[in-house]
Structure 1
Amino acid sequence: MNELSKREMRTVFCETLMNMAENDQKVIVLDADLMLAMGTIPFREKYPERTFDCGVQEANMIGVAAGLSATGFIPFAHTFAPFASRRACDQIFMSCAYAKQNVKIVGSDPGITAALNGGTHMPFEDLGIMSTIPEITVVEPCDEISLERVLQLAKETYGTWYIRLRRRQAPIIYGTGAKFEVGKSCMLKDGTDVTIIAMGYMVDKALEAADILEKQGIHARVIDMWCLKPIDENAIIKAAEETGAIVTAENHNIRNGLGSAVASVLALKYPVPLEMTGVQDEFGEVGQEAYLEERFGLTSENIVHKVNMVLKRK
């Protein structure tokens, strides 16, 4: 595992928003009674006139965000990912995306990072829900550097965004000079035998798996598909052409998430053997992250297993 950052992702989230707000008075923050959990109290203390705690009424919060966008503001609206996706879906569709507003929806504690909050709070379907909304941008940064860059991109790029975000510490993946562009993935390791395409929580696991495979004489390419929509079709096709086999890894249901998106590109453009690492169409449950990783197969060892499976098919 890569070294854990000393800062939690929610701390980076708040600090980055504060830095952006200092230079742009249009940046505002909304929350659904989770400012303490998300660590955005410092933003409220510094910019009380640009902070709106809407209480436990997520759909209404999205409507407020859409209205603020219509008057020229750039709202970042946060709640836990199941509520940002399932509960507020119609408001995001109608008031934000359909109305072509500039709203940034932040869904925290995705997948197994919901941990002890259990199955009701454990979204394995949010990427699928959001990705089906036309013209929306769907992203999941994996560490503090990518989070800083993605938030800046979201501010600078007009439109409705869904930012999937773990709250606590994340492994350090990127250096300070890393560059990100909407619709472009990042290749973290080159390889010729197989490609592992991961996002979010599973990027570090993919790099671990590549190290294990290297010792077995298998050279794996690792791609961080941090931008799920629009997806980097060129990188997927290039990986298929050059390595001939692909494994996806996501902290999400393999249906309608990263695995399905990659499969669609391959089926239409360049079919090669594909295996998917992720949740196998199940509900979540209560548990510590370490237990849930094993329970749902979200481990580097399982990625290695999927690579060995796909290589047999190759």
Structure 2
Amino acid sequence: MSLTTKSMRDAFGKQLTEMTLQDPSIVALDGDLGNSTRLAFVENENQDAFLQMGIAEQNMVGVAAGLATCGIKPWVCSFAAFITRRTFDQLVVSVDQPHLNVKLVGAYSGLLTSNTGKTHHSFEDITLMASLPNMVVLSPGDAQETVRMMQAAGKYEGPVYIRLSRDENLEFLPGSEEPFEIGKAKWLNSGKKIACVSTGAMSPRVYKAIIELKAEGMSLTHVHFPTIKPLDRETVIKLAESHEHLVTVEEHFVRNGFGSLVNEVTSATCPVQTTRIGIQNQYSQCGKNDELLDYHGLSTGKLKMKLAELFEGR
């Protein structure tokens, strides 16, 4: 498939369609959101691999679990807020405890949900999914990495949750076209004193901010973590040992999210001062992507200001 698109959901829909055509055991389960999630690509190209489950997410996960016990490889997709919060009991009992080979895709994750407002934001999905013992949790940084991540997830035998962004114009990260390995972080920039670690749709914004700061004489380390669970502990420890300050950035509640998982590692191995940037203890509101990012301090401009402030304060 062409990797020219900057839309994660377009890349997801095209790649899953190709996967169903190559492997008849792969099927897509839709919760009546195919046009938004791009599961409609599968429906249009390979109807035999498309199962319309309606607005019944709990039942959809249960059906996926049943299919997995029969050797079918289900990919279940809905908005992240629905596929995690509404189905959590089914995910625990029917998918995670028996370690079934079900792939779960949370579209419209985080803040960037195209004016849908607080009911459709998912600021707790990392917390929920990372708490499950058998669940792998992935969050790609761009459309190219989405494709590589899906290929790796398809080869993995067990439950996987992939967190996708609705952002249609994410810039490509360096190396995102390379093969993806579950559990490995990606080093994007080397600097001194401060190391910034980010995940998902925040990584391209952090990368841009750090490159701009570098041009202004401020050199910061930046590492992208597309795998949230299992976390790349070795890289986290290396960063904590070699820097004075860690900064975590995520499009998620700062409590019990990606930053907290990083802190679990550093507190037990190499304590280091940490600043966690993300959604604070509040819900958001309706608004355009740029407005919401700026409001929560997650736009490239606001990230650049915060990182410069921390760098100059060391």
TM-score bracket for the superposition, by shorter chain length: over 0.9
Question: Partner amino acid for 2:72?
Answer: F
Deviation at 1:179, TM superposition (A): 2.9
Q: Residue 185 of structure 1 contacts residue 224 of structure 1 at CA under 8 Å; is this kept in 2?
A: yes
| SS state at 2:55 partner | coil
Fraction of identical pairs, as percent: 31
Q: Does residue 24 of structure 1 match 2:23? A: yes
Q: Distance in 1 between matches of 2:28 and 2:270?
A: 42
Distance in structure 2 (CA, Å) of the matches to 1:290 and 1:59:
33
- What CA deviation, in whole Å up to 9, does each residue of 1:89-147 have, x standing for no partner? 11111100101100011011111111310000011111111111111000111111110
Q: CA deviation at 1:309?
A: 5.4
Which residue is 2:101 aligned to? 102
Deviation at 1:242, TM superposition (A): 1.8
Instruction: Please tell me whether residue 270 in structure 1 is matched to residue 270 in structure 2.
Output: yes
* Count of equivalent residues: 311
By how many angstroms is 1:36 displaced?
1.3
The residue type equivalent to 1:260 in the other structure is S
Counterparts of 2:83 and 2:10, CA distance in 1: 20
Q: Which amino acid aligns with 1:56?
A: I
Over 3 Å counting, the alpha-carbon distance change for 1:83 and 1:225 in structure 2 is same
Deviations along 1:203-232, whole A, 9 cap, x unmatched? 011112212322443211111111000001
Distance 1:302 1:186 in 2: 23
* Equivalent residue number for residue 155 of structure 1: 154
Amino acid in the other structure paired with 1:160: P
Structure 2 letter corresponding to 1:114: T
Query: Aligned partners of 2:179 and 2:210: how far apart in 1?
Result: 22
1:285 aligns with 2:273: no
Contact 2:218/2:311 (<8 A) preserved: no
- Alignment correspondent of 1:165: 164
SS in 2 for 1:197: strand
1:37: which partner in 2? 36
Q: Residue 121 of structure 1 corresponds to which residue in structure 2?
A: 120
CA distance in structure 1 between the partners assigned to 2:232 and 2:17 by the alignment: 30
Structure 1 residue runs of 4 or more that deviate by more than 4 Å after TM superposition: 308-314
Deviation at 1:177, TM superposition (A): 4.7
Matched residue SS, 1:274 = strand
In the alignment, does 2:134 pair up with 1:130?
no
Q: What amino acid is aligned across from residue 51 of structure 1 in structure 2?
A: F
1:57 is aligned to 2:56: yes
How far apart, in 1, do the equivalents of 2:28 and 2:178 lie? 26
Counterpart of 1:199 in structure 2 is 199
Cα separation, 2, equivalents of 1:118 and 1:238:
39
TM-score, length of structure 1 as denominator length: 0.94
Shift of 1:306: 3.9
Q: Is the 8 A contact 1:14 1:40 kept in 2?
A: yes
Amino acid paired to 1:139? L
Quote the Cα distance in structure 1 between the aligned partners of 2:40 and 2:201: 25
Shift of 1:176: 6.5
- CA offsets, 1:158-208, max 9 Å, x none? 111111001333211144652321111111112222111011111011112
Determine the C-alpha separation between the residues in 2 that align with 1:177 and 1:117.
31
CA–CA distance in 2 between the matches of 1:15 and 1:8? 11
What's the offset of the Cα at 1:301? Answer: 3.6
Q: Distance in 1 between matches of 2:287 and 2:263?
A: 30
One-letter code aligned to 2:64: A
SS of residue matched to 1:275: strand
Q: Mark the CA change 1:189 to 1:92 in structure 2 (over 3 Å): closer, same or farther.
A: same
Letter in 2 for 1:237: I
| Correspondence for 1:82 | 81
CA distance in 2, matches of 1:97, 1:127: 15
Name the residue aligned to 1:208.
208
User: 1:184 corresponds to which residue?
Assistant: 184
Does structure 2 retain, via aligned residues, the 8 Å contact 1:275–1:306? no
CA RMSD, aligned part only? 1.8
Aligned-partner Cα distance in 2 for 1:300–1:207: 9
CA distance in 2 between counterparts of 1:245 and 1:179 reads 30
1:246 Cα deviation (Å)? 0.8
TM-score (norm 2): 0.94
Rounded Cα–Cα distance in structure 1 between residues aligned with 2:148 and 2:289: 26
In the TM superposition, what is the alpha-carbon distance from 1:300 to its structure 2 partner? 2.8
1:312: how far off?
Answer: 6.9
SS at match of 1:114: coil
| Contact 2:43–2:50 (8 Å) recurs in 1 | yes
Instruction: Tell me what 1:224 maps to.
Output: 224
Structure 1 residue 305: Cα displacement = 4.2
Amino acid at match of 1:127: I
Separation (CA, whole Å) in 1 of partners of 2:6 and 2:241? 39
